[in-house]
Amino acid sequence: MGRRRAATRPSYPRWLLTVAITAAAVLGLIGGAMLLPTLLGPGGSASSQGGAAVGGTPTPQAALPVDQPAAASGNGPCISLNVLASLENADMVRSLASEYMAKPRSVDGLCVTVNVSQEKSGVAAVKRASQFATTPVAERPTVWLPDSTAWLQVAKDKAGEAGNGFETAGTSVARSGIVLAMPASMAKAVGWDAKAPSWADVFKAAEDRNLWKRLNHPDWGEFKFGKASPTVSTSGLMGLVASYGIAGNNLEALDASRLKDSAVIAKVKAGELSTSHYMATPEHFLWHARQADDAGKVSEFLSAVIVDEKSVWDYNRGISSNDGVTKQAGLAPKEPLLAIYPSEGVLVADSPAVVLEGSWISAQQRLAAVSFIAYAGTEQGQNVVKTTGYRNIQDKVEDVVATTGRYAASLKEIPLPSDEVLTVVQKSFPDVRKRARALFLLDVSGSMGQEIVPGVSRLQGAKDAVTKAMEHFTGDDQVGMAAFSHLEGGKLSPGLVSPVAPLKTNKADLLAELNALHPVAYTPLFEAVGTFAAQQAEAYDSSSINTIVLLSDGKNDTPHAGTLAALTEQLHDQHHTTPVLVFTLAYGADADTASLRAIAKASGAHFYDASDPNRLEAVLGDLVTSF
C-alpha cells in the first residue's frame, strides 16, 4: 500500500453531529453505537466506512458493519434524496440506490426515494462552485459522489471566497486505480505484460514514434497515446498529475513549489506532444477502440490510454459508450485490454460521498443522506460496490471482475497530491496541452435559414455557439473558418473564409467572417469535407492536433461529384500518415447522422449529436475538449 495523503480534516457543522446522533439514536438504521464513529470519525471529521482515511488508503478491517434496515418502511410521501454521481461511477451509485431502496427504510418516520443523476466530474465541480444555480431547485443534489476527492478541491477553488464552507473530503465508498490500458498484443510486444514499466517508461514510449517499427510491428504505425481531458475527467487529471510528477522527479510527493519551475513545465509540454488527441472521457476513447477492434485491428486507433480500472472491465466484457453517458452491451472484443500498473504505483479514484451545504436541502434530506451513505459502507453495500467493477474500501475485488478486467491483486497507491497541487495542475492544462490546428467547417445551405426559435435562425445559433467555443482555445492554437454551399451550376462557396492561423492574431478576422456568413442553397457535404481534409493534410503539423470541426444540418444534396465511400477511403488513408481528425456535429433533426458518423469514424474522430439545436452550444463545448 502507498502512503496516506495528509488529508485536511474539515470542521463539520453542528447539523452533521445532530444528524448522526439523531440517525443513530432514533432511526435504528445500522445501530447507534456504529453510526456516529463510522460517519464522523475521530474528533467529528469525515472518514471512510470500514476504517478508511478520507482520500487515502483504507486500513484492513476484519468485518464491515452489517446493514440493519427498518422493520417496516416509513410513511409517505417519501423523502426525495438526490444524489449526483460522476459518469464513471454512476452505474455503481445507481446499484447502491436500488439495493438500499429494496429494503424497508424509515428516516424520521418516512420512506426514502433515492434519485441518481450523473455528470462529468469537471462539469459537476463547476456546478457545485455555483451552488447549482442553473439547476432547478427540485433537481439539486443533497449528496455529491464524484469519483475522486480531487474534484471537491476543484469545486472549492472555482467558487473562490464563496467556497470557504465547501467540503474538501468525504466518505469513500469505492476505489478504482488509474491505470494504463493497452491492447494485449501491444502490451506483450513491449514486454509490459510480464514486467511493469515505470511511469517514466510509459511517457518515454509514447514519445518514441518508431517504437512499434523497432519491435517488428511497422503495421501498427506510431504509438497512439490517448488521454481524457483533465478539465472534466478524473483519469485525465490523474494522468496530468503523473506527467508533472515524472517531470519533477517526485511522483509520490509532488511539491507545489516545483509546478512553476520552467524546466518542469517544459518537460510536461514536451510529453503532451505525444498525445494523439484528447477526448472528454475515457469512454469516448474506448468506444473508438472497440470500433477498430470490430473492424479487425484495434491498433488502427489505440496503443495506450490512461483510464480507471473499471473502464477496462467494462470494455473487456463488451460494454461501450458512444457519448460517455448511454452504454450499450455487446460481445466481448476480439482483443482484450490489459490494465498496466506502473511500478511506482497508481493514483486512486476514491468515490467520496459528501452531504452538501445548501439552502435547498431540508433537515429530513440530510438525515436520508446520512442513512444512504452509511448503507454504502456496510457489508451489503460494499458487496454491491464489488459486483459493479470496483474495489471495496478494503481494496477487495470480485474474482470474476479481476479476471475480466485484468486487475492487479491489490493496489500500490500513490498518495493524492495536496489540494494546492491539484488546483495548479488542473489550471495549467490550457498552457501545457498539445496545441490544436483546427478548421471550423460550417454548412451554409438554404436550410440553415430556418428558425430554431422566433427571430433566431439555425445559422445564427451556430454562429453564437462557435463564438462561444473560441473561449476553449488559447492564443497559440491555430484556428480557421470555412463554409460550404453553392448556387445552381456554381462552385463550392464561400469556401475558406479565414485561413488557419494563431488565434491571438486571427480571432477578430475569424469572428468577422463568421458573422458575415449567410444561407445559400445546396449541400455539397462530401465535396467540402474531402477538399478541406486534403488541405489540412497538406499543411499537417505533427506538433499539433490537426482537426476539422464539421457542423451540418442536412444531407449531401448537390449535383457536384462525390460519394461517401470515396470520402471515407480518403480519410482512412490520410489517417495513417497525416491524420486529420474530422469531428462531426449533427445540427438539427434533418442532419444525415449516418454519414456524419461514418466520416468521423474514418478519420479517427468522434460524432456528436445536436439534433436539438438548442443544445448546440453545450455539445460544441463538449466537442472542443477533444483537442
Q: How much is the pLDDT for 7?
A: 38
Q: Are residues 185 and 318 both part of a single domain?
A: yes
Q: Are residues 49 and 89 both part of a single domain?
A: yes
Last residue of one domain, picked from the residues 404, 428, 452: 428
pLDDT band at residue 257, thresholds of 50, 70 and 90? confident
For the chain, the distance separating the N- and C-terminal CA atoms, rounded to the nearest angstrom, is 35
Q: Are residues 213 and 293 both part of a single domain?
A: yes
Contact between 404 and 319 under an 8 Å Cβ cutoff? The reply is no
pLDDT over threshold 70, residue 60: no
| Residue 528 falls inside a structural domain | yes
Q: Are residues 333 and 457 both part of a single domain?
A: no
Contact between 104 and 71 under an 8 Å Cβ cutoff? The reply is yes
Residue 460: other Cβ atoms inside 10 A: 17
Q: Are residues 50 and 181 both part of a single domain?
A: no
Q: pTM of the predicted model, to two decimals?
A: 0.84
Q: Are residues 343 and 361 both part of a single domain?
A: no
Contact between 367 and 53 under an 8 Å Cβ cutoff? The reply is no
In CATH, what number is assigned to the domain containing residue 550?
3.40.50.410
Contact between 391 and 60 under an 8 Å Cβ cutoff? The reply is no
Q: How much is the pLDDT for 607?
A: 87
pLDDT over threshold 50, residue 53: no
Q: How much is the pLDDT for 36?
A: 36
pLDDT over threshold 90, residue 100: yes
User: pLDDT (tens digit, 9 = 90+) per residue, 469-497?
Assistant: 998 899 999 999 999 999 988 899 999 99
Residues 6+ apart with CB under 8 A from 566: 526, 530
Q: Are residues 181 and 167 both part of a single domain?
A: no
pLDDT over threshold 70, residue 8: no
Angle at 290 between CA 288 and CA 296, to 5 degrees: 110
The average pLDDT across 9-13 equals 38
Q: Are residues 491 and 621 both part of a single domain?
A: yes
β-bridge mates for residue 442, sequence order: 483, 551
Contact between 44 and 17 under an 8 Å Cβ cutoff? The reply is yes
Q: How much is the pLDDT for 321?
A: 83
Q: Give 222 or 503, the one with higher predicted confidence.
A: 503
The average pLDDT across 460-477 equals 90
Peptide bond into 494 cis (omega under 30): yes
Q: How much is the pLDDT for 609?
A: 85
Contact between 262 and 253 under an 8 Å Cβ cutoff? The reply is no
Q: How much is the pLDDT for 21?
A: 38
Q: Are residues 317 and 180 both part of a single domain?
A: yes
Q: Give 482 or 48, the one with higher predicted confidence.
A: 482
Overall number of domains in the chain: 3
pLDDT over threshold 90, residue 132: yes
Q: How much is the pLDDT for 46?
A: 32
The average pLDDT across 192-200 equals 95
pLDDT over threshold 50, residue 2: no
Q: Are residues 151 and 252 both part of a single domain?
A: no
pLDDT over threshold 70, residue 59: no
pLDDT band at residue 16, thresholds of 50, 70 and 90? very low
| Residue 58 falls inside a structural domain | yes
| Residue 540 falls inside a structural domain | yes
The average confidence (pLDDT) of the chain is 87
| Residue 408 falls inside a structural domain | no
Express as a percent the part of the chain with pLDDT over 90.
64
| Residue 82 falls inside a structural domain | yes
Q: How much is the pLDDT for 48?
A: 31
Angle at 34 between CA 30 and CA 35, to 5 degrees: 70
Q: How much is the pLDDT for 33?
A: 31
User: pLDDT (tens digit, 9 = 90+) per residue, 147-183?
Assistant: 999 999 999 999 998 888 898 899 999 999 999 999 9
Express as a percent the part of the chain with pLDDT over 70.
90
In CATH, what number is assigned to the domain containing residue 282?
3.40.190.10
CA distances from 213 to 367, 430, 579 (A): 60, 32, 18
Q: Are residues 43 and 189 both part of a single domain?
A: no
Which helix (DSSP H) or strand (DSSP E) does residue 213 occupy? helix 211-214
The average pLDDT across 99-126 equals 96
Q: Give 249 or 485, the one with higher predicted confidence.
A: 485
Single-letter code of the amino acid located at 244: Y
Q: Which domain holds residue 158?
A: 14-173+350-391
Write 238-242 long-range contacts (CB < 8 A, 24+): 238/148, 238/150, 238/178, 238/306, 238/347, 238/349, 239/178, 239/306, 240/268, 240/425, 240/426, 240/428, 240/429, 240/432, 241/347, 241/417, 241/421, 241/422, 241/425, 242/199, 242/306, 242/347
Which DSSP string do the residues of 517-543 spell out, in sequence order?
----S-B-HHHHHHHHHHHHHHT--TT
Q: How much is the pLDDT for 279?
A: 81
pLDDT over threshold 90, residue 370: yes
The average pLDDT across 247-268 equals 87
| Residue 402 falls inside a structural domain | no
Q: How far apart are CA 445 and CA 450, in angstroms?
A: 10
- From 102, 126, 101, 7, select the one nearest 56 (Cα to Cα): 7
pLDDT over threshold 50, residue 42: no
Q: Are residues 302 and 377 both part of a single domain?
A: no
pLDDT over threshold 60, residue 45: no
| Residue 7 falls inside a structural domain | no
